[in-house]
Structure 1
Amino acid sequence: MMRRRLRPPVPIASAFVVAVAGAVLFGIATVRGDGAAGREIPPPFAPFEYLVGSWKGQGVSREDPSQRFRGWPETHAWAWTFSGGKPIAMSVTFQGSKLLKAATLTFDASKDRYQLKAEAVAPAGATIVYEGGLDASRKLLTLERTGVKSGDPAERLTLRANSNFIRYTLIADRKPAGRVQYAPAIEVGLTKEGETFAAGAQAVERRKCVVTGGAATLTVSFQGREFPICCTGCRDEFLETPDKYIKKASLASEAAAKGMPAKPAAGPSRVRGADDAFAGDVEEPSSKPEKEKAKSKSMDKAEPDDDAPAPKPKPAAKSADRAAGLLKIAQNLEKAGKPAAALKNYRELVKSFPDAPAAKTAKERIKALADQ
């Protein structure tokens, strides 16, 4: 009597299918290998997370034959917009664009539609609004201009990511009154800075932004430490509430130290929520005695054959460095138009490091801000 081979239990297979379907639904989360744990990205913006950062490319006119091969350079810089410590929208600034200067991308849950509110190049200072949605692939965003006057040509923007999300194409279409179909007017092709088209977006493991958990391309300095961030929006958010994200970084480092092997496994691997950039803030195992470890904790990596103990930094010098770091952060916040956050950092500096040279400047700024 032949025995039939048992199939895998249905619940396990179903769970796998649900997991895969969920990953596909949110597009780039699967393609780029980003885990969901510890992420701060609103679900409607998950398909656009790849946009965060700077892009360089070339724009060409599809209407003017003389510009089809010459064109012009363009730079797009995308960043998160925060409210209450959470990313709620995306902003973009355009350099060299013939169409737009800056814009904000939001999502209206009641309409299930995206809105791009932009400042036009011409007429200068004019605000124009586009609305639309994603296609089934979640790679193509189509937005049509609203409020077009009767008799004026209809306008449409399409933004499409390539297969590995390191290049996208922005096309501006126009449809004259009385016409049925749109015709392309401007086409811009851009590649993400720091990426190579041939290598692909998964070729290199990226550090993770301490604010959102996305791929980090920048760093922000605080109290002598470097923290990875993905955009200028996350930089401003970090500087406004640094303690929140320093704690988050420390927790991530502890989790990574407990769960990660001493050496990474060979070959590409999927990034988990805890396996992010903060492993760089954790000391690697060493064969040095415990006393030697304590002495080298505050120094940079030493040469393997350097047995001389590193001199500990003087307390006064250490305090001065931390005070200078706080002063720089406060000044950046003040320049960014956030006087309340700047004042908080100035006062913290004076309270914690009253004898540091930076305290004098901080006191002057406290007085100046209080008088405003």
Structure 2
Amino acid sequence: MNSAAAAFLTLTLWLCTCRTVLSSDEQPQHSALAVQRAATVQRIGRPGELVGNWRTVLQARRGSGNGANAEAVTGTWQFRDSDAALVLKFRPGSRLQQIRITAAAMPSEGLRLALQEGEQELSLVAVQPAHADAATERAEWIFETADDAVKSRRLTVRRLSDIRWTMLLEERAAGGADWRRMFEVGMTRDGERLAVAGVGEKKCVVTGGRGTIAVQHEGKTWYVCCEGCRQVFEDDPAGILKNYQAGLEQEQRRVEGEDRR
């Protein structure tokens, strides 16, 4: 072997070694990110069920078809570093264009919501916790703008079932005390019937939500709930599945503990 070939072989082996070391160093970082993202998703909580496609009707007056509009809503997770956001996009967006729900840095601060209304984005915060926890069939979240906001808005999000939600948007005049209804959005998950809600559904390995998109790893098929979760899974499938399996084992231990009581 001449000197040039020997030098090339040495360089190739060095690059392979560096790649292996970097890959092993990156794995804990990916796993840590997955844990942080999962914690943020957990803090956002049950509204995460809104991921997916929804048929909606926007009504200015309850029970009246006057001024009602049909909207298609798509809910997805968006991930950036350790942060997670639940984004709902309305089409054609006759009154609302987008809702973005995030968790504050401190768990005690509750959830935050950005409301895209026309060309203006309004910031709202949760003013009270859900009336029901994750174990019950109903829950409610109320978000309001700050007292000094140019436009006063209150958005009440209600969960009726895993495939039925409503959102009521209200406004308040400057200096006023009473809230006035603007419109309500009734949401039904696309392609679902009420009688079969939740039967045999697959779980997203990233968030634990409803799995609708198949992904592959080492010859096995898993499921995620949206394109954001697909990207996170493809970035670190081993880390995501490790955390998912750990969550399943933790839930199994919890169930077994309750059975012994």
The two structures have a TM-score, normalised by structure 1, of 0.48
Is the partner of 2:38 in helix, strand or coil?
Answer: coil
C-alpha contact 1:40 1:213 (8 A) present in aligned 2? no
Among 89, 94, 98, the alignment partner of 1:93 is 89
- State the TM-score, normalized to the length of structure 2: 0.65
SS class of match (1:50): helix
Residues 119 and 175 (structure 1 numbering): CA distance in 2 closer, same or farther, change over 3 Å? closer
Q: Is the 8 A contact 2:97 2:116 kept in 1?
A: yes
Cα distance change of structure 1 residues 112 and 195 upon mapping to structure 2, 3 Å threshold: same
**Partner SS for 1:180:** coil
Alignment of 1:38-77 (within 5 A): 40=38, 42=40, 43-62=42-61, 68-69=65-66, 71-77=68-74
Partners of 2:45 and 2:129 lie apart in 1 by 12
Q: Secondary structure of the residue that 1:98 maps to in structure 2?
A: coil
Distance verdict in 2 for CA 1:224–1:130, change over 3 Å? same
Which structure would you say has the larger RCO, counting Cα contacts within 8 Å and 6 or more residues apart? Answer: 2
Inter-partner Cα distance in structure 2 for 1:49 and 1:272: 22
> Aligned partners of 1:99, 1:241: CA distance in 2, in Å?
38
Q: Deviations over 1:170-208 (max 9, x none)?
A: 11111223543212111110111232123333xx12122
Unaligned runs of 5+ in 1: 1-38, 260-270, 274-372
Work out whether residues 40 and 87 of structure 1, in 8 Å CA contact, stay in contact via their aligned partners in 2: no
Distance 1:168 1:218, change over 3 A: same
- What CA RMSD, in Å, does the superposition of the two structures yield over aligned residues? 3.3
Could you say which structure has the larger radius of gyration? 1
Q: Distance in 1 between matches of 2:107 and 2:47?
A: 20
In the superposition, relative to structure 1, how do residues 213 and 114 fare at CA in structure 2: closer, same or farther (>3 Å)?
Answer: closer
Question: How far is 1:55 from its partner?
Answer: 1.4
Taking every aligned residue pair, what percent have the same amino acid on both sides?
24
Counterpart of 1:145 in structure 2: which amino acid?
T
Match of 1:191 in 2: 188
Check the 8 A contact 2:48/2:86 in 1, yes or no: no
Does structure 1 residue 154 correspond to structure 2 residue 162?
Answer: no
Whichever structure has more strand as a proportion of its residues is 2
Q: Give the CA deviation at 1:223.
A: 7.8
Aligned equivalent of 2:122: 128
Aligned length: 205
State the secondary structure of the residue aligned to 2:196. coil
Superposition map of 1:137-152 within 5 A:
137-138=132-133, 139-146=139-146, 147-149=148-150
Deviations 1:291-316 (A, max 9, x none): xxxxxxxxxxxxxxxxxxxxxxxxxx
Q: Please give the residue correspondences for 1:270-309 in structure 2 after superposition, counting only pairs within 5 Å.
A: 272=252
